[in-house]
């Protein structure tokens, strides 16, 4: 228990994970922002960056949440029904047009939450194991349509079960789509050889991350500490 408490003290919080994801977004990309933890990312993208954020409910050019509650527009909400802003040139679009962007291969990246990611890049994020129902939303289209899928999640469940696994045990969302996983412990690339550990949270070791992972990790030669 003492070791677990010490380890937890070194985990990234949700805002730090979001800040780290924002570092990997490139100018001129069109990026879908998924529901849940991914909605924290827009606030960490510098205003001078030229990243076009897409929300599946019909926003192209989505900005961060309004800083002042007085600026909240009840008609301007992200897919998670949270208030957001529009950047200059941003627009509302019809739901069909929003998914034409998705299905037409126009997304350079998608940032999604997940329940599990498998070593071959399989994604599970719509239904918990054993639950009678789930929430499909647009995740299946987005995961397949995006050129790269960045997953944001905690490294383990509340019960300590790994979410980064050899094979999925939760219902599949899409096969072989995940490019990179960002957790409170690490940044992990999904490669043809399996999971490659690229970065660890400060003061965590590769062994710490491996102990919390349900699949073998290849440790990058240039393993780094996450900087946010």
Q: Does residue 41 contact residue 22 with C-beta atoms inside 8 Å?
A: yes
Tally Cβ neighbours within 10 Å of residue 74.
Answer: 6
Q: What is the pLDDT of residue 158?
A: 94
pTM score > 0.75 for this model? Answer: yes
Backbone angles phi, psi at 48, to 5 degrees: -80, -10
Residue 83 gets which letter from DSSP? Answer: B
CA dist 205 and 187 (Å) reads 12
| pLDDT recorded at residue 5 | 52
- Positive or negative, the CA dihedral 75, 80, 84, 86 is negative
Candidate list 26, 56, 159, 199, residue with the active-site label: 56
DSSP class of residue 38 equals G
Distance CA 179, CA 136 (A): 21
Sheet containing 116-118: order of strands: 123-124, 116-118, 164-165
Tell me which residue of 151, 157, 59 sits closest to 102, measured CA to CA.
Answer: 59
Domain CATH code at residue 104: 3.40.1080.10
Residues of the chain with pLDDT under 70: 1-8, 130-131, 133
What pLDDT shows up at residue 4?
64
Q: Which residues contact 22 (CB under 8 A, 6 or more apart)?
A: 41, 44, 45
Structural domains in the chain (count): 1
Domain that holds residue 132: 2-225
How buried is 146 (Cβ within 10 angstroms: 0-12 exposed, 13-18 middle, 19+ buried)? Answer: buried
Q: For residue 40, give both structure tokens.
A: 């924290």
56 assigned to active site: yes
């Amino acid at each position: 228990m003492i070791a677990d408490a010490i380890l937890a003290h070194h985990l990234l919080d949700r805002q730090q994970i979001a800040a780290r994801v924002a570092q990997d977004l490139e100018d001129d990309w069109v990026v879908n922002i998924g529901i849940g933890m991914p909605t924290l990312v827009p606030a960490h993208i510098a205003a001078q960056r030229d990243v076009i954020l897409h929300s599946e409910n019909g926003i192209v050019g989505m900005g961060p949440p309004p800083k002042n509650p007085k600026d909240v527009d009840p008609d301007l909400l992200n897919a998670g029904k949270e208030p957001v802003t529009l950047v200059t040139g941003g627009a509302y679009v019809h739901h069909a047009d929003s998914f034409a962007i998705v299905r037409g291969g126009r997304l350079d990246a998608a940032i999604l939450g997940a329940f599990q990611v498998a070593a071959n890049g399989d994604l599970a994020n719509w239904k918990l194991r054993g639950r009678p129902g789930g929430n499909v939303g647009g995740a299946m289209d987005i995961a397949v349509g995006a050129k790269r899928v960045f997953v944001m999640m905690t490294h383990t469940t509340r019960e300590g079960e790994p979410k980064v696994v050899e094979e999925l045990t939760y219902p599949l969302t899409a096969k072989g789509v995940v490019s990179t996983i960002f957790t409170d412990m690490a940044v992990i690339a999904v490669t043809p050889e399996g999971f490659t550990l690229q970065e660890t949270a400060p003061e965590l070791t590769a062994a710490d991350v491996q102990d919390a992972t349900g699949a073998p990790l290849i440790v990058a030669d240039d393993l780094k500490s996450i900087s946010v």
